[in-house]
Homo-oligomer: A and B are copies of this chain.
Amino acid sequence: MDLKDIRREIDTIDSQLLPLFVQRMDCAKKVAEAKKRDGIPVHNAAREEEILDRISAKAGLYSGAARIVYRTIMSESSALQHRLLGSGGTLRKTIAAAPKVPAFPESVACLGGPGSYSHSVVSSLYPRAQVQFYNRFDDIFRCVEQGNAGLAVVPMENSSAGSVSDVYSLLMQCRFYIVAAKTIRVHQCLAAKESSPASVRCIQSKKIALQQCSRRLSALHLPLQPVSSTSAAAKAAAEDASIAAVCSESAAHKYGLHILERDLQNTDNNATRFAVISRQLCIPDNAEKISLCFNVAHTTGSLNAVLSRFAAAGMNLTKIESRPIAGKDFEYDFYLDFTGNVRDPAVLELLCSLQEELPRFHFLGNYCEVHTE
């Protein structure tokens, strides 16, 4: 049989299949009305499993495929019902109440000392704010929690070394919001007190910076010592000629160091993503990134049923990470970033539905992402 003929056959099938799908969605509308009238919840796991079992039994050879297609159909049907029933009222109110312009922060907390990468992000975003430096992430979060700083700038992920897991944990624990994000290209230098490397006996930096430069550093055959930040390493190098620091050019200048080597990082395209975090939600009109954390039921295909809903709302996934839930074996939270704006009705309805449906659902913010050299 010719490919063209088979395709014509497929098109004929589709012309009958689609109207049935549309009819099925119309029925979901009627179901929503009946459920609203009688006060019945949208989700009915028993009925869903019953349908899936019947369908896959009837689909013969294609039972696995039929189950997946039907799970997708039913997930779209329950999304429609949630939309019609106006689910997720609390989130709806929180989003509606969020200001579009952040309050000007008098003080911003960040990691390290003058010249750290976090500091350069603070200076570019909030040039007039006072900067409070800390050596530990939990101190930064505590500072914001207690209102001693209006905002904080923290690193979220690096293109070569991955997510900064302690920042994610703290973000969830404190229930803060991300109100902006900025990605900067990282150029790591090797810097020391003297202009010759002869006296250097060890190399210090933040652990993630040492990882970013692992290729070049391993060729130097010197012991590596992780310290709390790149600027702390620069400070140590300024005090001791036997220590070289892996740090930014600006940190090297701030501490009067000589730059022994530039662009130490493994790839030329090494970038770090920083988030601005706040106790208060703030959603600019042009916000284009949404961060979420949720937990799905532990059944086959439950994650992709949820992901397909995001795709249906036109939202692109830009990050996903499963994280074991502390204290629970084999249960996971998912951290996700999507493109989108919550003032788009399709996006808002989806998030409100999911807040109702999922056992755990946290909206972490909707913000702008700035990229610079």
Contacts and interface: CB of A to CB of B under 8 A. Distances in A.
B22 A312 contact: no
A306 to B, nearest CB: 8
Given A34-B6, A69-B76, A207-B207, A307 B314 contact: no
Given A68-B311, A321-B322, A166 B211 contact: yes
The count of identical subunits is 2
Interface string A148-184: 0000000001111111011011000000000000000
Interface string A294-326: 000011110110011111111111111111111
Contacts of A159: 324-329
Interface string A208-230: 00010010001000001011000
B312 A308 contact: no
Contact of A163 (B7, B69, B165, B317): B165
A67 interface: yes
B308 A72 contact: yes
B138 A214 contact: yes
A60 B1 CA distance: 34
A106 interface: no
Interface string A56-67: 001111101111
B25 A65 contact: yes
Contacts of A299: 316
A10 B38 CA distance: 19
Nearest to A168: B162
A64 B269 contact: no
A28 to B, nearest CB: 8
A267 interface: yes
Interface string A1-31: 1110011011001101110111111010011
Contacts of A325: 159
A226 B207 contact: yes
A181 to B, nearest CB: 13
A192 interface: no
A145 to B, nearest CB: 13
Interface string A125-141: 00000000000101000
